[in-house]
Amino acid sequence: MPVIEAKNVSIRYITGDFKAIGLKEYVVRKLTHRYHVKEFWADRNISFALERGDMLGIIGANGAGKSTLLKAISGIMFPTEGTLEVEGQVAALLELGSGFDAEMTVRENTFLRGALLGYTKAFIQEKYDEIIAFAELEDFQDYAFRQLSSGMKSRLAFSIACLVKPDILILDEVLSVGDGAFRKKSGDKMKEVLSGGVTGILVSHSTDQVKELCSKVLWLDHGRQVYFGGRTAEVLDLYDGFLKTKKLPDAKLFPAE
């Protein structure tokens, strides 16, 4: 049984001018049919399935619908159309500072983030030294989160998510932050986590990173699904060509599954 299964998932944003005009004017415009809304489909008819231990790389240019899809998988948003089934506990690192309090210390934030992921204080206490050591923040435990560099914030978030080992781990560009040594260490940790049966999803602009870590790839373009499957290296070569030419390849060029 798939851990994550999307069937024709479409997600729509609706925008209007309600906030700008206020309630009274909104009512008047609705009654006179002068109130208009705009629809924007961030994702359209996305279908894929992941088994336990799969690592999916999601690729696509800015505006492809990657982040919106991740929010749906994480439970932050819901599909407008289609179905999305997710089995298990999800740890999602979608934004660098999400789930942290800027004024609280690194130590306090570690317990806060752990609580948000559903773990007990005793469990995080048991894992705390390991989390801080992996994040290389032993000398910064009493610093406020806002005082950390972006690399430090990323290391802490990644360390908490990996070392508590959820069923599903979602990373949005998190592995691209930090120096080369930590990127290698985090990549090695991801391989270790996946070998333990965790299902992963990685969004990255680094095709080399996706090739190294991912067993499957999902290519999105302007909200549409270009490809989903396991021929990661071949498809990423086509994607590299697309980045240079800005022309989608003919469907016949995609490797048969």
Residue 118 in domain? no
Portion of the chain with pLDDT greater than 70, in percent: 86
Residue 239 in domain? yes
Tokens of 197: 């049966």
CATH number of the structural domain spanning residue 236: 3.40.50.300
Residue 149 in domain? no
Determine the pLDDT at residue 30.
65
Determine the pLDDT at residue 155.
86
Rounded Cα distance between 198 and 113, Å, is 19
Residue 134 in domain? no
pLDDT band of 19, cuts 50, 70, 90: low
Q: In total, how many domains does the chain have?
A: 1
Q: What is the mean pLDDT of the chain?
A: 86
Residue 54 in domain? yes
Q: pLDDT tens digit string along 166-192? A: 899 888 876 665 567 777 887 788 788
The domain of 246 spans 1-22+42-88+215-257
Residue 135 in domain? no
Mean pLDDT on 87-93 = 84
Supply the pTM of this predicted model. 0.80
For the chain, what is the HEC assignment?
CCCEEEEEEEEEEEECCHHHHHHHHHHHHHHCCCCCCEEEEEEEEEEEEECCCCEEEEECCCCCCHHHHHHHHHCCCCCCEEEEEECCCEEEECCCCCCCCCCCEHHHHHHHHHHHCCCCHHHHHHHHHHHHHHHCCHHHCCCEHHHCCHHHHHHHHHHHHHHCCCCEEEEECHHHCCCHHHHHHHHHHHHHHHHCCCEEEEECCCHHHHHHHCCEEEEEECCEEEEEECCHHHHHHHHHHHHHHCCCCCHHHCCCC
Residue 255 in domain? yes
Please determine, for residue 255, whether its predicted confidence score (pLDDT) is greater than 90.
Answer: no
Minimum mean pLDDT among 63-72, 91-100, 117-126, 206-215: which range? Answer: 91-100
Determine the pLDDT at residue 34.
65
Please determine, for residue 7, whether its predicted confidence score (pLDDT) is greater than 90.
Answer: yes
pLDDT band of 160, cuts 50, 70, 90: confident
Q: pLDDT tens digit string along 112-154? A: 988 887 788 999 999 999 999 999 999 999 999 999 988 888 8
Residue 189 in domain? no
pLDDT band of 249, cuts 50, 70, 90: confident
